[in-house]
Structure 1
Amino acid sequence: MFYVALRILLYDKIRSLITLLGVVFAVGLIFAQVGIYLGLMETSSVIIDHTEGDIWVTSKNTRNFDFAQPIPEYFYDHVKSVEGVQWAEKLIVTWGLIKQKEGGTEQVEVIGYNPDTLVGGPWKMKEGDARSVKNGNFFIVDESAWKRLGEFKVGDYRDIFFRRLQVVGISSGAKSFTTAPLIFTSYNVAQSLSDLVGPANTVFVVAKVDSRHDVADVVARLKKKLKDVDVYTSGDFSRKTRLYWTIETGVGFSFMLTILISFLIGMLIVGQTIYNSTMEHIKEFGTLKAMGADNAEIYRIIFSQAFINALAGYLASLVITIASVKLYHAAGMVMVVNVWVNVAVLVLTLLMCFAAAFVSIRKIKSIDPAILFRG
């Protein structure tokens, strides 16, 4: 039956090619939308996901990582005193302005971390050492900031919060979802720079749970002991941040709408082709039924056509998508293409093409073998 389906598709090569291009377009667009969405979500929680630690303590009703409010530093001591906490670190996230070399200012997101432990600091350095921000007015800038801030090199100076700081390193992979470039500095410098944080406040307390204790149990103890703050596991805080940007900003809806439209376009293209092919070969199908073939055997021919279109279109789209990942990165976008994305898009493609075949299935079901004897 697979061979028969292939022969039917190759009977009109031009139409089959147009159908294949339509599937490639639809599936390619699905690949792009899913990959870019997942890339955006990775950037929205990039600091959480790359920070060593199991628990995050933050201000009450914090909706995402980027807009947490300051909390008193004494929460740090409270967290350390709870049974099961192996260590705790303070982390500052705040907003400020950086003065451009050629004039003007740009908004930046400042991460203040402990350079001795590196908790919350840059995890991948292109130049320099993440510990170099210690004991001075120093900062590290991520290479993704170059489009907004211009190219930096180690040794350059910039005014941040109207204070002169020197570049001591270039990080990689710390791209911000908010489009404001990320810069890293020591906890003490970040605390002294920002009027919003103040000298006796922090923004987060990150804790590591001792391997002999359960993370959920330690979270429960912290929630019971600490008032006026929120306590999350790293995974929960990462999901909360991603859900905020997905739902509250409409990002998720726009991507889902594009994926749905692509799915429907692909289904219409494949459905029309298979239906037209079925109508052109209606007498041949009638002949098969007259020779004793049942509906199930003819259904297999129809679904084989859908499967061939789906598989060929998917493979072509996958090759194009993989080849274009570097182009997306060069344009400043993060695109995720991994095994799970590939499997999910393959399932969507098969569903799209099989759903398109159902119109033809209904037509085959009603074929009367007596059609052979009509004019």
Structure 2
Amino acid sequence: MSRTPLAWKNLVHEPRRLLLASAGVGFAAVLMFTQNGFRHALLDSPVQLIEWMECDLVATSTARYMLPVNQRFARSLLRRAESDPDVSAAEALLIERLMARVRVAGERARPIRVVSVPDPPGWLTIPGLKEQRLSLQPPGTALIDRKTRARYGFQFDHRGSPLPQTVELAEKRIRIVGSVTIGTDFANEGSLLIRESEFARYFPLRGSGSPLGVVDVGMFRIKRGADPDQVAERLTNLAPCIWNVVRKDELKQKERKFWSEQTPVGAIFFIGTVMGFVVGVIICYQILYTSLQDAMPEFATLKAMGYPNRYFVGVVVRQSVFLSWFGFVPAVLVALALFWMLESYSGLPMRLTFTRAITVLALTTSMCLISGLLALRNLVRADPASLF
């Protein structure tokens, strides 16, 4: 004879209560999804440009504790590094933020990140760059990141291509000839891509000598079979007080660690996730406690018949797990829609990956289990006769 699924029947016998309970759990799950999403956006957005560098090793100034900082090294170091027997190619990447101000006609000037496009193709794999590369050949042209914040005033058609507009960069006219997809982060609200040679035209005071004589990021490709860690160590030793050369993954980890541990923003979003969890525990406790109180005469009868406490614990645990699933499924759908809207508005990479969804599911299930076990205390401790 099959046993009656008491936990399931307790949960679904009143559809209206189940709907309200699921909404409460789903609300807490959406809070955790949102806070977790913003936290990961904080960690994912600063490394987007690094991910699109098609290289094995990356060099930055020793004073550059994060990528948006304006600390550079001499281009001559790249030429010296090319003499290493395991280096197959080296290329510079220029990034300007301090002197880069863009103004769209009718709007005020705003700071923007300007990134160079290396002359040899293939060093940057930014979506849309390969198709638009030839558009950058004429002087005074640029590509705009289509995820640049709307406050800049750039206008795009339904395909994401920029509409004709009068634009100035560093108080000089520039023509926007196409768009790419980069994304914003907490330091940059928009990006322009121009040819490296154009940096001398728009930012003549960039370096103490030649504007193109200083480099923000050095990119290296190494020969097949070479040990990247050994090559990185040799290159660093060329000028240990001036630059650091690391694997691309190491630079990404460094950026993520800085934003997570050295800024208050990471802690704020972590606290937000914890608060969502606590709010969920309170909501679930009220739901499950009320459910147990309403069914107390039935539980008293079972307890008087000799059912042990572990049976009731099992019932409440299963009921808590079922409730977490009922709340989690609609929360995923709401989070997907919310992430899409937030990414469209802010340009931040709001990504709901499988791993992150499983993390929130684990938090939601734990939240419901804690609430259920707290609500069960009175039943476990009570004498059967006192429950009637």
Same fold (TM over 0.5): yes
Residues 183, 347 of structure 2: 8 Å contact kept: no
Structure 1 residue 14: Cα displacement: 4.1
Residues 115, 132 of structure 1: 8 Å contact kept: no
Counterpart for residue 236 of structure 2: 223
Counterpart for residue 106 of structure 1: 110
The one-character-per-residue Cα deviations of 1:202-248 (angstroms, maximum 9, x if unpaired) are: 11111122231122222222222332212222112122222323333
Structure 1 residue 191: Cα displacement: 4.2
Query: Is 1:312 the counterpart of 2:309 in the alignment?
Result: no
The one-character-per-residue Cα deviations of 1:133-184 (angstroms, maximum 9, x if unpaired) are: 2462321111122612321637655321233332232112343432431001
Query: Could you tell me how far apart the structure 2 residues matched to 1:206 and 1:65 are?
Result: 14
What's the TM-score once normalised by structure 1's chain length? 0.90
Counterpart for residue 374 of structure 2: 359
Q: Which runs of 4+ in 1 moved over 6 A?
A: none
Query: Is 1:129 the counterpart of 2:144 in the alignment?
Result: no
Query: Is 1:206 the counterpart of 2:202 in the alignment?
Result: no
Query: Is 1:168 the counterpart of 2:171 in the alignment?
Result: no
Query: Could you tell me how far apart the structure 1 residues matched to 2:267 and 2:213 are?
Result: 41
Query: Is 1:180 the counterpart of 2:193 in the alignment?
Result: no
Cα 1:192–1:229 shift into 2, 3 Å = farther
Q: The residue matched to 1:331 in structure 2 has which SS? A: helix
Query: Could you tell me how far apart the structure 1 residues matched to 2:271 and 2:131 are?
Result: 43
Query: Is 1:251 the counterpart of 2:240 in the alignment?
Result: no
Aligned pairs for 1:1-375 (under 5 A) are 3-95=5-97, 96-102=100-106, 104-120=108-124, 123-125=126-128, 129-134=132-137, 136-145=139-148, 147=150, 148-151=152-155, 153=162, 158-194=167-203, 195-197=205-207, 198-227=211-240, 228-334=242-348, 335-371=350-386
Bigger Cα displacement from structure 2, 21-30 vs 155-164? 155-164
Bigger Cα displacement from structure 2, 251-260 vs 327-336? 327-336
Query: Could you tell me how far apart the structure 2 residues matched to 1:345 and 1:103 are?
Result: 42
Structure 1 residue 249: Cα displacement: 3.2
Query: Could you tell me how far apart the structure 1 residues matched to 2:219 and 2:50 are?
Result: 10
Residues 149, 346 of structure 2: 8 Å contact kept: no
Query: Could you tell me how far apart the structure 2 residues matched to 1:66 and 1:225 are?
Result: 24
Q: The residue matched to 2:64 in structure 1 has which SS? A: coil
Corresponding letter in the other structure for 2:273: I
Cα 1:211–1:191 shift into 2, 3 Å = farther
Query: Could you tell me how far apart the structure 1 residues matched to 2:236 and 2:130 are?
Result: 40
The one-character-per-residue Cα deviations of 1:275-333 (angstroms, maximum 9, x if unpaired) are: 23223333432332333322222111101111111000000101222233332233234
What's the TM-score once normalised by structure 2's chain length? 0.87
Query: Could you tell me how far apart the structure 2 residues matched to 1:362 and 1:217 are?
Result: 60
The one-character-per-residue Cα deviations of 1:234-266 (angstroms, maximum 9, x if unpaired) are: 112122222323333321122112111111111
Q: The residue matched to 2:67 in structure 1 has which SS? A: coil
Residues 159, 165 of structure 1: 8 Å contact kept: yes
Unaligned runs of 5+ in 2: 157-161
Residues 49, 182 of structure 2: 8 Å contact kept: no
Corresponding letter in the other structure for 1:230: N
Query: Could you tell me how far apart the structure 2 residues matched to 1:330 and 1:204 are?
Result: 29
Cα 1:369–1:156 shift into 2, 3 Å = closer
Query: Could you tell me how far apart the structure 2 residues matched to 1:149 and 1:140 are?
Result: 15
**Cα RMSD over matched residues?**
2.5
Query: Could you tell me how far apart the structure 2 residues matched to 1:242 and 1:68 are?
Result: 18
Cα 1:201–1:285 shift into 2, 3 Å = same
Residues 95, 115 of structure 2: 8 Å contact kept: yes
Cα 1:259–1:275 shift into 2, 3 Å = same
Query: Could you tell me how far apart the structure 2 residues matched to 1:235 and 1:326 are?
Result: 27
Q: The residue matched to 1:232 in structure 2 has which SS? A: strand
